[in-house]
Amino acid sequence: MSELDKTLGLDANITRRDLLHDAGLMSLALGLASPSSASYSNNPVSTADYPPTRTGLRGSHPGSYEAAHAYARDGVPQKKPDATKESFDLVVVGGGISGLAAAYYYQHQFGQHQKILILDNHDDFGGHAKRNEFHQGGRMQLAIGGTHNLEYWQFNDTVNALIQDLGIDIDKLRRQTEFNYGRTGVNGRAIWFDAETFGIDRLITGCSLNGPPSASPLPYLDQFPISEAAKAQLRQFYGRTEDVLADLSDDDRSVYLHNTGYFEFLSSKAGLGEEARSLFGNACHGSWGLETQCLSVAEALGEGLPGLQLLGETPTESDWDYPAGFFPDGNASLARLLVQRLIPSVAPGVNPDNIAIAAFNYSELDKASHSVRVRLQSTVTHVENRGNGVYLSYTRGGKVHAVHARHCVMACYHSILPYICPSLSETQKVAQSYQVKYPLLLTNVLIRSRAPFTALGVDGVSCPGRMHGSLFLASGIETGGHQQGLADPGSVPVTFWGSLSPEAGVTDLRDQLRSSREKMLHLRFEDYEREVRSVLQNLLGPAGFRAARDILAITVNRWPHGYSHEYLDLWDEDWPQGEAPHEVARQRFGNITFANADAGASAYTHTAIEQAARAVGELG
């Protein structure tokens, strides 16, 4: 280990603890004994075996994807399953929000007595709504591990009914939340230029490359560690107020905005060279999981990237408002409320006012006495209609098991379906394979105190030169019983948010997504750890921060199959209604229906719920 790694604290005890977690999970995939197998005993699990407290590599953690990759990607022959011993009314493949909602709707449609089994390949339920708990350095701290928030203004009647039935009060969530993605620091937004990329570490507070007018970088460009030519280009770009498309008709204008890449617009209309354009390269990594150059002008401007002033429009502060509803663990609290509704004994007395601080008894998830059962660490590898029902096989603990059901809802991502549902039509398989998901990365780092951020006057920054496009303090969300205000002096999670850029030279969108996915899976925990330790040390070091001393825990939530495929102006056709890939992909197949946000081609929690309701409704 280098002296620099030791200075950053890579030899700290948390690394050894995290590797032990990973080794335990890997042993499950290989069918060896593991402490976490106690999750299915009749005794409550210990804190060490409680999935939300696990650090290290999470999201698609070791043990969650190897079986699927073996069968789907590497062509390893499937083992013969044990004899079918279990039968259910419904088996749901996928324990994310869509799968949990499917079980909820099935009970409402067919009765509370229905026997339901939910199978999930991860060691925790919730899917992308991953709960991250930290118990180092004092009281429990929570962080967002995947799905962030509730876009309640987009809820339809179906989603609103579920939210209300669970007792979630959106107005209360809003009143109890000060958090706003790092925009509420002393000086608001900020940009951090790192020495490795830009030759010097420099934090510039009060501005943003893609923020509202009040955060314009125009007054700060002289501080940017870039060439004088790039500064001049940006100065002209942010200072111009003219309509560069004034000579186009309304129709031609629309065609241009939706069929021209944003980077081409920055080059040909805004006069930005490669160096200046590169500052925006990872600006959409967190929100889209994509390179900014993949977006059209219309999509990029809708994301808040600059350029409206060159279309004769005047941006307003309210254009950047995002008044979402938050729980401190993201939408993991919604998943937990659904599980508690399906299996009340997992957390008696839990409600939206205490869900964030409630402990769940995982030994209650998979009991034969319950009408609904959640079986984790179970990777489904084969599903087919057989007779009047559905036959499924899955791997767990190195063994292959079989189960029969009257109905099945596939609530997993679409691109895996052709491999585990081989009897589907080729047309449906092609449609499912088309929906390649966008990778997502959320790394949470628990630090000893927010004092260094306070001293620098920020709650979060964008990082145009780093692996994660941005980072922010995950505090100010005092909902669900959890309390940690913006001024709380104790330990606090820092969330790094983004994706991974593909290998250089990869131009096709889907090849880029696959390249990013492979990079995400092949990076070791130490690689992610070194990155966040280095960023925090160099960013916060001037305020007295010391990574080896002040970093208490690290959780890397990597989602190689992250955001659902949303159709893009530059890469996807404008299909007639009913003929889009997601509409073809989700067509009922015998006693099998298809949920998940992929079925709605929209990476939002309310879409996942809508598709669960539709999928169950088709079984009626």
Phi, psi of 608 (to 5 degrees): -60, -40
Look at residue 48 in the predicted model and tell me its pLDDT.
Answer: 59
Measured distance CA(495)–CA(144) in Å, rounded: 8
Topology annotation, domain 66-125+365-435+567-618: FAD/NAD(P)-binding domain (3.50.50)
Task: Look at residue 333 and give its three-state secondary structure.
Answer: helix
Q: For the chain, what percent of residues have pLDDT higher than 90?
A: 82
Measured distance CA(274)–CA(154) in Å, rounded: 37
- According to DSSP H, which parts of 116-169 are helical? 157-165
| pLDDT of 458 over the 70 cut | yes
CA proximity to 446, closest of 493, 489, 487, 485:
493
Q: Which residues contact 53 (CB under 8 A, 6 or more apart)?
A: 47, 133, 134, 135
CA proximity to 370, closest of 118, 36, 592, 85:
118
Tell me the per-residue pLDDT of 22-42, one tens digit each, with 9 for 90 and over: 333 333 332 322 222 222 223
Q: pTM for the complete prediction?
A: 0.93
Measured distance CA(40)–CA(37) in Å, rounded: 6
Say if CB 171 and CB 160 are below 8 A apart. Answer: no
Q: Which of 163-172, 181-190, 342-351 has the lowest mean pLDDT?
A: 181-190
Measured distance CA(60)–CA(67) in Å, rounded: 12
Burial class (CB in 10 A: 0-12, 13-18, 19+), 78: middle
CA distances from 408 to 38, 116, 212, 389, 432 (A): 28, 10, 47, 8, 17
Tell me the per-residue pLDDT of 538-583, one tens digit each, with 9 for 90 and over: 999 999 999 999 999 999 999 999 999 999 999 999 999 999 999 9
Say if CB 291 and CB 263 are below 8 A apart. Answer: no
Say if CB 185 and CB 450 are below 8 A apart. Answer: no
Q: Which residues contact 250 (CB under 8 A, 6 or more apart)?
A: none
pLDDT band at 185; cut points 50, 70, 90: confident
Measured distance CA(612)–CA(609) in Å, rounded: 5
Look at residue 184 in the predicted model and tell me its pLDDT.
Answer: 79
Measured distance CA(347)–CA(223) in Å, rounded: 53
Could you write out the DSSP letters of every residue in 529-585?
HHHHHHHHHHHHGGGT--HHHHEEEEEEEEEEEEE-----TTTS--PPTT-SHHHHH
Tell me the per-residue pLDDT of 37-88, one tens digit each, with 9 for 90 and over: 222 223 333 455 899 999 999 999 999 988 888 877 777 777 788 877 899 9
Which tokens is 95 given? 């324990």
Look at residue 33 in the predicted model and tell me its pLDDT.
Answer: 28
Which tokens is 430 given? 């092609």
Sheet holding 551-563, edge to edge: 56-59, 551-563, 438-447, 492-498, 470-473, 460-462, 190-193, 202-205
Look at residue 5 in the predicted model and tell me its pLDDT.
Answer: 80
Sign for the pseudo-dihedral over CA of 396, 397, 401, 406: negative
**What are the CB-based long-range contacts (under 8 Å, 24+) for 518-526?**
520/439, 520/441, 520/558, 520/560, 521/60, 521/65, 521/558, 521/560, 525/15, 525/18, 525/19, 525/22, 525/56, 525/57, 525/556, 526/10, 526/15
Measured distance CA(265)–CA(261) in Å, rounded: 6
What is the widest separation between alpha-carbon atoms in the chain? 72
Q: Which residues contact 291 (CB under 8 A, 6 or more apart)?
A: 281, 282, 284, 285, 501, 502, 512
Which tokens is 130 given? 């991953």
Say if CB 337 and CB 464 are below 8 A apart. Answer: no
Look at residue 47 in the predicted model and tell me its pLDDT.
Answer: 52
CA proximity to 549, closest of 444, 446, 442, 443:
446
Which tokens is 309 given? 């002033």
Look at residue 68 in the predicted model and tell me its pLDDT.
Answer: 83
Measured distance CA(389)–CA(550) in Å, rounded: 56
Look at residue 27 in the predicted model and tell me its pLDDT.
Answer: 31
Q: Which of 175-189, 215-229, 285-299 has the lowest mean pLDDT?
A: 175-189
Tell me the per-residue pLDDT of 84-128, one tens digit each, with 9 for 90 and over: 789 999 999 999 999 999 999 999 999 999 999 999 999 999 999
Tell me the per-residue pLDDT of 259-299, one tens digit each, with 9 for 90 and over: 999 999 999 999 999 999 999 999 999 999 999 999 999 99
Amino acid type, 465: G
CA proximity to 61, closest of 26, 97, 27:
26
Phi, psi of 259 (to 5 degrees): -120, 5
Q: Which residues contact 202 (CB under 8 A, 6 or more apart)?
A: 192, 193, 223, 225
Domain ranges of the chain: 3-59+130-143+176-184+437-563, 66-125+365-435+567-618, 227-278+280-320
Task: Look at residue 229 and give its three-state secondary structure.
Answer: helix
| DSSP strand pairing (389-396 vs 379-386) | antiparallel
| pLDDT of 325 over the 90 cut | yes
